[in-house]
Structure 1
Amino acid sequence: MLKTSEGTLDPSDWNAFRLQGHRMLDDMIDYLENLRDQPVWQPMPEEVKHSFQQALDDGQHDLENAYAIFLKNVLPYALGNVHPGFMGWVHGGGSPVGMLAEMLAAGLNANLGGRNQAPIEIERQVVQWVRELFNFPESASGLFVTGTSMANLLGVLIARTARLGASVRHKGLTSDNRQLVAYTSAGAHVSIVQAMDIAGLGSDALRMIPVDSQHQIDIAALELAIAEDKKSGMMPFFVAGTVGTVGVGAIDNLQAIAELCERENIWFHVDGAYGALAMLAPDIAPRLQGIEHADSIAFDFHKWGQVPYDAGFILVRDGELHQNAFASPAAYLRRENRGMAAGSPWPCDFGPDLSRGFRALKTWFTIKVYGAEKLGQVISNTCALAQHMQQRIEAELCLELLAPVALNIACFRYRGIDANRLNADLVVALQESGIAAPSTTTINGQLAIRAAIVNHRTTVSDIDALIDTTLELGSRIAKSIQS
């Protein structure tokens, strides 16, 4: 049992605690250093699952014992997104620097809802950097959130307030309001649908616009849908373009969307969950032309930015409008010109959270230590690796590319009888091999092996290992289906 000082949770023996803490930190550094010696992922035994189903603990365990449980039952059975062979979903790999920054943030235990404190200045510094990255004005505002799903919701809420006025926050959606309708592509992330639902506008009010052969939103179809809704007496208020679609990594024609939204006086939001940070990569950034005209941009530092989870972000062009959509004066949130209650406006004025973790610190450390140029090189490299994967796929007759490789995602399948079943079994076999871990998606009714290359640790050898193992296991599974 951890011996504590009377009446507190602090240890009575700080030196013993310090030694245990150093062992834990050393173990995690060893874990990151030796990732290639471990499987990407492995199934969790039933007895391990059962070990987490015990009754409320009595606390009669010392720190060393609790840590031993972590080493035995948690560390080996994580999803594996820090591993260079992980390509299952668009999950970032984190970094050693980010891990240390997270430790510092936990020790400080700052609440970034507000007040006059240095941690908020760190967040404001990151907001300034993001403004510069996307060429937004000084009046633009930004906020750390859990992830792009939450940032997309905030974008919908801000756009709703922009169209209907601040009174909607008090009166809600009434019969006096015309039906608000929004638009995004059929390849967009489900969080846009969820945002419409949670905002009270209804998922039926979201028009899913078809995509073209490049999996980009069809601009002509979007324009037609807006015209038809206006003719029907509805109020188009929000268009979400995507930078890096979840399925194949496509980039919508942001410039065309921006021009259309400006003509129609519609809020232009960009879901750039992972793709928006391609602005850091000089060879890819030109493909995001038009993003600088967005009214709001949602993205994650914890994906291509390699910041540990979670570190989502929303950037809003009109900072005053952003604040008007969320600020809620209260006696206990009184502001002053001096003292701890100075420094207004506070982050809680730009979103729904009063209690907020210090997400900005690990982001600030990541940018400070590695620099924008290095992070951009990582992004470029993942895209180059995807091109290498495409070349390997196209060189094998038994493999078939199912979508253009736009950024860092390659979607393909192993040819054969009952191909959907074959490839579903193949992906599971790949994951259980521990060598490489892709996921699946469906493209034009065909089940695809989806490899998303996000991790800064991934190299050509990891791509080759995935393809080589796919060929080996695919041949074996294809024969079993035929027999």
Structure 2
Amino acid sequence: MNTSEHEEETLDPESPEAWEALRTLGRRMVDDVMEYLRTVRERPVWKPLPAELRTTLKRPVPVEGEGAEAAYRDFVENVLPYPTGNIHPRFWGWVMGTGSPLGVLSEMLAAGMNCHVAGYEDAAARVEDQVLAWCRELLGLPEQASGLLVSGASMATLVGLAVARSEKAEGDVRRTGLWDLPRMTLYASRETHACVRRAAEVLGLGSDSLRLLPVDADFRVDVSALRAAIARDRAEGLRPFCVVGNAGTVNTGAVDDLEALADVASQEGLWFHVDGAFGALAALSPRLRPLLRGMERADSLAFDLHKWMHIPFEAGCVLVRSEAAHRRAFAYQTEYLAQMPRGLAARPSMFSEYGVQLTRGFRALKVWMSLKEHGAAKFARLIEQNVEQARALGQRVDAEPELQRLAPVSLNVVCFRYAGRGAPEERLDAWNRELLCRLHESGVAVPSYTTLGGRYCLRVCLTNHRTRREDLELFVQEVLRLGREIAGGAVKGT
């Protein structure tokens, strides 16, 4: 058939020689990235982008290609040297996982297959089924629970709360919306991650529907305040529908009394959602699992596999106790997605019926391969290792007169500040802000920051399988050195 007067094109190499050249380049890429990982300790954690690079990365779209070799050379020169830094042993900022060498290769394999994992009858969907079954088993949810791999815990929270809204609303909110219904209210501690507020906004509940409750001295939600808030809202004609518990708060790593929250939710007829972004995976450890008692009673559980299991980004997960409720919140019938009796579309249910996305990549492969490579027991040991390192760092801070810890070390987060020796309180926030900037710029370490009780502090979150005790000691020494340098300059300037 004559389809065009022009020769038909493809993105594949067009000769055996071109295929071999690309294969050679691919081998070099694999060699380069493995060496990049092997030598990560020899580089700074982070370094600023040079001014000229900002211009380089603002070029117009290439109309004609320059070839794979040139594209890779540009990557090596202008992208690879300037990462976030979270694969480095001394990166402890925010909550980021470290990745792994096999995770890199798994991503390549998944991209090579390039499966559309909406839920067709193929191996990719079966791999995701297997990963979700493993997650249920590891975290204590029943075998009948449903689940979905998503981008991260923020999306997992949105999915879980969408199911809660649909199940607990007075009417059919998927069809009629919320406009003529009593305001639905949900409850969480003031330490809860902002993704819960964002979900409330996106779901049409509004941020005013989120009741942020006080916490105790250990930064755990005040259960008495929760009961009082629910009673107050019922008395005002509102409709309480969900309690959110924290399995590791983002600021301090505090774990709410999940058993007590589950009791309240059960007694009040409310949905119980647990935000376990990083902390839920502590359940892999028999030693740490008691800290999370009650999590297994959640109606929905959001967590990340790309944090404390070191799967490359993105790999989040939501588990929902009731498969029927989960499906009711998202499923729809369309002609072009109808199930077939046989063939590629013969799978009984599609992942797209349990979440927002229809188009979905093969996220499950890197999780599946990582668990097969290392086993759950090794991930449990790595989590225990980080918890022990955090406790050791907390003790090191407590032993140093110039440092002040501002929160208990509940799990894997240490919050402290440089306080000097008898320094005025009003100077400490500014000193520690400057200290954090200098730490980042030095390339020695990357912690992040938070504010506790109105006091700015450094925040070290240990979700890093490459960290050693010597890294933490180097960090403490650098904090002391920079703190004294900043304090000395301030004294001279007064």
Scaled by the length of structure 1, the TM-score of the pair is 0.98
Question: Any idea what SS the aligned residue of 1:21 has?
Answer: helix
Given that residues 183 and 206 in structure 1 are in contact (C-alpha distance below 8 angstroms), is that contact kept between their aligned partners in structure 2?
A: yes
Of 329, 333, 339, the match for 2:333: 329
Give the distance between the partners of 1:123 and 1:34, measured in 2 at CA. 33
Residue number in structure 2 paired with 1:387: 391
Of 473, 480, 483, the match for 1:464: 473
Which residue identity lines up with residue 487 of structure 2 in the other structure?
Answer: A
Residue number in structure 1 paired with 2:343: 339
Of 2, 26, 30, the match for 2:31: 26
User: How many residues are matched?
Assistant: 478
1:126 aligns with 2:131: yes
Give the distance between the partners of 2:64 and 2:84, measured in 1 at CA. 28
Given that residues 440 and 450 in structure 1 are in contact (C-alpha distance below 8 angstroms), is that contact kept between their aligned partners in structure 2?
A: yes
Which residue identity lines up with residue 52 of structure 1 in the other structure?
Answer: L
Given that residues 166 and 324 in structure 1 are in contact (C-alpha distance below 8 angstroms), is that contact kept between their aligned partners in structure 2?
A: no
Residue number in structure 2 paired with 1:144: 149
1:397 aligns with 2:401: yes
Given that residues 295 and 317 in structure 1 are in contact (C-alpha distance below 8 angstroms), is that contact kept between their aligned partners in structure 2?
A: yes
Which residue identity lines up with residue 187 of structure 2 in the other structure?
Answer: Y
Tell me how far 1:166 sits from its aligned partner.
7.2
Give the distance between the partners of 2:262 and 2:240, measured in 1 at CA. 14
Larger displacement relative to structure 2 (343-352 or 162-171): 162-171
Question: Any idea what SS the aligned residue of 1:77 has?
Answer: coil
Of 298, 308, 313, the match for 2:317: 313
Q: Deviation per CA, 1:420-446: give whole Å up to 9, x if none.
A: 000000011111111111111100010
Question: Any idea what SS the aligned residue of 2:266 has?
Answer: helix
Residue number in structure 2 paired with 1:414: 418
1:221 aligns with 2:225: yes
Which residue identity lines up with residue 172 of structure 2 in the other structure?
Answer: S
Tell me how far 1:356 sits from its aligned partner.
0.2
Tell me how far 1:307 sits from its aligned partner.
0.3
Which residue identity lines up with residue 139 of structure 2 in the other structure?
Answer: F
Of 6, 9, 13, the match for 1:7: 9
Given that residues 166 and 325 in structure 1 are in contact (C-alpha distance below 8 angstroms), is that contact kept between their aligned partners in structure 2?
A: no
Counterpart mapping for 1:147-186 below 5 A: 147-164=152-169, 167-175=172-180, 177-186=181-190
Q: Deviation per CA, 1:224-280: give whole Å up to 9, x if none.
A: 100100111111101110111010100000000000000000000000000001111
Given that residues 186 and 211 in structure 2 are in contact (C-alpha distance below 8 angstroms), is that contact kept between their aligned partners in structure 1?
A: yes
Identity %: 44
Tell me how far 1:340 sits from its aligned partner.
0.8
Given that residues 223 and 260 in structure 1 are in contact (C-alpha distance below 8 angstroms), is that contact kept between their aligned partners in structure 2?
A: yes
Of 61, 64, 67, the match for 1:56: 61
Give the distance between the partners of 2:396 and 2:142, measured in 1 at CA. 44
Given that residues 418 and 483 in structure 2 are in contact (C-alpha distance below 8 angstroms), is that contact kept between their aligned partners in structure 1?
A: yes
Of 45, 59, 74, the match for 2:50: 45
Tell me how far 1:138 sits from its aligned partner.
2.4
Counterpart mapping for 1:61-140 below 5 A: 61-140=66-145
Give the distance between the partners of 2:305 and 2:294, measured in 1 at CA. 21
Q: Deviation per CA, 1:279-331: give whole Å up to 9, x if none.
A: 11111111100011100000000000110000000000000110010001100
Scaled by the length of structure 2, the TM-score of the pair is 0.95
Alignment RMSD (CA, Å): 1.1
Which residue identity lines up with residue 232 of structure 2 in the other structure?
Answer: E
Residue number in structure 2 paired with 1:436: 445
What are structure 2's unaligned runs of at least 5 residues?
Answer: 1-6
Tell me how far 1:165 sits from its aligned partner.
6.4
Question: Any idea what SS the aligned residue of 1:400 has?
Answer: strand
Give the distance between the partners of 1:475 and 1:446, measured in 2 at CA. 19
Tell me how far 1:174 sits from its aligned partner.
2.9
Question: Any idea what SS the aligned residue of 1:23 has?
Answer: helix
Given that residues 152 and 191 in structure 1 are in contact (C-alpha distance below 8 angstroms), is that contact kept between their aligned partners in structure 2?
A: yes
Question: Any idea what SS the aligned residue of 1:44 has?
Answer: coil
Which residue identity lines up with residue 436 of structure 1 in the other structure?
Answer: A
Question: Any idea what SS the aligned residue of 1:237 has?
Answer: strand
Residue number in structure 1 paired with 2:202: 198
Tell me how far 1:114 sits from its aligned partner.
1.9
